[in-house]
Every structure is written in C-alpha cells, then in structure tokens.
Chain A
C-alpha cells in the first residue's frame, strides 16, 4: 500500500492539505473538512476522507463524489486531536493523496453566532413588550379597535342563556405548546366566567390530555372567580380521544344531540375544521371560529358567522379581558409589526440602491 502510494504520488503530484476546523455553532462532535478540487487528465471517481487520532494510523471514514469539496465529520469526540488527509480515487485506483492537515479538535459552542440577529430581534421585541406592559399596569389607557367577532361573543352567550341551551367550546386539536391553544385557553377563561354568571352550561371536549387538564382548571377557576364554584360541573370539561377523526365524530355527535345554541371553535385545527363547522351550521347554532391555521380559515369563513383571522385570535383575549398584561402585550405586538413594516421598506430601498449585504442581516 505504502509503495503504491509513493509510486502514484510521484506520477500525479500531491494535493495541498485539506482545511480543517471545528464546525461552528454546534454542540461539538463535528469537524468541517474542505479541500481544493483535484484536476487530472485521469477520470476521477471521487475522494476518500481519512482520519487519524494522535498516535494512531489513518483510517478511511467516508467517500464522497468528485463534485464535493467538503465534508462534515460528525463522529468526533470533543477534545481529542484529529488529523485528516484526502485520497483521490479514479477508476478504482488511488490517483494521489493530500498532505496531512493540521491537528484539529471539535468543541461545543455556548452561543450560536449565526443566530445573533434572532437574539437582537428578540431583545428589541421584548423591550417593546415590557415598555407597553409597564405603562398598561400604571393605568395608561391603551386603545384597541373593535373586533366584530368578539363583539358577537357576549351576544352568543346571551343567546344560549335565553334559549336554555349549552355552549360548545372546542379549544382546537393541538397541544398545549401551540400558541393558538394558549390564546384559546385565555378566551375560554373569559367565556367560562360569562357562562358562570348567566348559569349557562359550557361543554368543553378535549383532544389533548394535557390541554384537557389545563382547560378543566381554567374553567374551575373562572367559576370560582365569578362566585359560582357550585355551578362548576367537572363532567362538562372532558377528554374524548387523541384520534383526530374519532374526536371529530364525537363532537359532531354532541352538536346534533345536545344542539348547543353557540359553537366556539377557537384554537388550532386541521382537516376536521369544515366537518365541525358544517355540522354546527346544520344545527342552527351561532358559530364563532378563530384559528391561525391558514389552510383552515377559508372553511371557517364560509361556514361560521364570525371568524377571527390569525392574529385576531391572539388579540381576542386582550380585547375581552382588558387586562393590563395582555393589553400591553397586544400593543407591543402592534409596534413590532410596524417595525417589521419599516424594515421592509428601508431594507428594500437599500437593496435597490445596490447594498446586497443588507440581505445577509436576515440570514440564519
């Protein structure tokens, strides 16, 4: 093997040593290797990457095709010194090999420099949020424009009370870590307070076991806050099943049997949205929906009386409760949007003026 290598290297010349470096912005155990393309009159099949630790022989760790000039070795141990070399292969034979690289170690990084823009954006956004929350808590009057769907919410609860029928609240089919679910649970608290005050039955079927537990606690607290803890019926907030279509079938069954006067579909939904909304519409219930799922919004818009589109769902809890924390958050979100709008206009102008580096500010 050694003699053969000496022979072929003397015939075809050598490659420069590959550039090696600890792969940046990771948790370690990766080394990035790159090399110059080897040009030869002979047909090249590809490159072999060989690695050696201190005091050990080289061993082949990978093969790449001739179009590749880099490789990430993702099977290294942090803190151990490695050296690399590249062997060029053509027609199944070794054509030449590179010099041995400089020693290199992999290590983990505490901060991903590639996401500095995310950190800066988050700090600016958090500062705006805290500013508005601070002012809201100090009693500053923060204006929020009227949202038609939410104006109808109180009427919908009143309608159910007058008709002596229950209200069905579906908090979406997603899990607790979904922002839409969190927004929905905020609204559920306010709806539950109203139903406690009016002594109206509130049915909350759940798909996620964790959301079920949270929803149950929220409704229970709302009834206590409204001074009607005795009116809380734990059986009305219930877990059905995690299967999407079994859940849908059961909720549809509830709608046609219990005939709720009001159906509230607030949260994240998938393909079941149209089935739920259509069944609810067929029972004559007033329906208010809200979701951040772009694909399901058209179905809710067509089959429901009112629909909260995207961020209106997040704004709803602030609008209904007028709580300083939520109002301040909503104001902060608004100004965040205005900053994005300003950035779009300014950055576009700079790019058109011939400053392409501006685009890199948004790269991750």
Chain B
C-alpha cells in the first residue's frame, strides 16, 4: 500500500466517497458533495460561456472587429433579461421563438435524411442480400421487424383484427432491441465504476498499479 501524498487526490477521493455514501442513504456528506458539485459546475459554466461563447462569438466580432450585424444576436440575447422587467417580459418570447423555429428548421431535414431515407434504404430487400441464405434471412427479418414496429406505433386504429398480432410481433422486436441495448449500456456503466475504483485503489491508496 502506497497512499498518495497529493492533497488534491485526497480531496477527490473524499468527495468520491461522499457521493458513494448515497448508496447507504441520504446524509450530510452526500449533501455537502452534491451542493459543492452543483455550485462549482454552475460557476464553471459561467466562465466557460464567457470564454467559449460570449467573448469570441459576440465581443470580438462586434466591438473589436466592428461587425455591426452582431447587434442582432446581442439584442436577442438581451431580450432574455427582460424577464426581470415585468413591463417588457413578453419580449423574452422573441429569442425563444427564434430558437424554436431555427431548431425545427435544422432538425427536420436532418431527421428526414437520417431517420427516414437512410433507414428505408437500409431496410429494403435487394437481390445481393440473397446471394447467401443467412444474409437473405436476416434481410427478411429486418424488414418484418421494421414493418411490425411501425404498426406498433400506429395510433389511429384500435389494436384489434390484423393489427393486433402484427403490433404484438412489433413489441417482441422492440424488446429484443432493448435487451441488447441494455446489456451493451450496462457494460459501459460498469466501466465508469471501474474507472472510479481504479482511482480509489490505485491513484489514492496505491493498492493496485
């Protein structure tokens, strides 16, 4: 055992154990770490936003390079502060409306390309897939899976008649997908825990290399 002599490592280990103590129950150590974490991260965000967003994207082009067009984003940004002035607080809707409109405009074509066209293309049965029996079989399974899942998410009809068994098949496909995803994601979570334990047992206590 060769514990670290770096006080920052000890502090990090202490805060890690404070957070881990939540596994037992809520306690003062967890509350301390939680509030410290929230406060530090919120403060860090302010500094980060200034250095990465406001200064390079607004102050430099507007006040140093003299690009007048940047008054528009400045005016939009200032609208957020009207929430503190009841008489003008309706103006906060301007940047929000712009953001929502811009967000939808950017998201919809990208969504259409990625989630509809690409997925449809990848699902279609092509002759080449049947050059081997197994790839042909999987291509058919994928097509059936997509069709039954689409039927599952059809809200305009009651689930009865022919829709019911197809939708039930869709649920099976969805759950199979979730099962695979669950296992894959749990592995990733375990690796996070391992990383933290390595810090405690290695960098802090020096028990493992």
Contacts and interface: CB of A to CB of B under 8 A. Distances in A.
Contacts of B118: 362, 364
Nearest to B180: A298
Given A274-B189, A334-B154, A359 B96 contact: no
Contacts of A182: 100, 103-104
A344 interface: yes
B14 interface: no
Task: Please report whether the interface of chain B is mostly helix, strand, loop or mixed according to DSSP.
Answer: helix
A295 B37 contact: no
B124 interface: yes
B79 to A, nearest CB: 10
B45 to A, nearest CB: 5
B126 A351 contact: yes
A178 B179 CA distance: 25
A51 B8 CA distance: 57
A246 B38 contact: yes
Contact of A271 (B103, B174, B182, B189): B189
A362 B99 contact: no
B37 A245 contact: yes
A121 interface: yes
Interface in A328-349: 330-331, 334-335, 337-338, 340-341, 343-345, 347-348
A310 B154 CA distance: 12
Contacts of B157: 143, 145
Given A115-B113, A299-B182, A341-B147, A330 B155 contact: yes
A285 interface: no
A210 B96 contact: yes
Interface stretch (B26-34, B54-62, B197-205): B26-34
A139 interface: no
Contacts of A178: 103, 107
A341 B150 contact: yes
Interface residues of A, number: 72
Nearest to A364: B113
A179 B107 contact: yes
Contacts of B181: 294-295, 297-298
B141 to A, nearest CB: 13
Interface in B126-182: 126-127, 143, 146-147, 150-151, 153-159, 174, 177-179, 181-182
B111 interface: yes
Contact of A145 (B19, B41, B159, B192): B159
A222 B123 CA distance: 43
A340 B116 contact: yes
Contacts of B185: 271, 295-296, 298-299
B81 to A, nearest CB: 11
Given A121-B112, A295-B181, A241 B38 contact: yes
Interface string A352-364: 1010101100111
A337 B42 CA distance: 42
B116 A249 contact: no
B52 interface: no
B189 A213 contact: no
Contacts of B47: none
A109 interface: no
B177 A294 contact: yes
A118 interface: yes
A155 interface: no
A359 B124 contact: yes
B118 to A, nearest CB: 7
A216 B153 CA distance: 31
A232 to B, nearest CB: 14
Nearest to A244: B41
B34 A241 contact: no
Among A298, A312, A343, max chain B CB count under 10 A is at: A298
B22 interface: yes
A117 B121 CA distance: 12
Given A178-B107, A298-B178, 20 more contacts: A117-B117, A125-B112, A143-B158, A145-B157, A175-B103, A177-B104, A240-B38, A241-B38, A241-B41, A243-B38, A250-B34, A253-B31, A271-B188, A271-B192, A299-B182, A301-B178, A334-B155, A335-B156, A344-B123, A362-B124
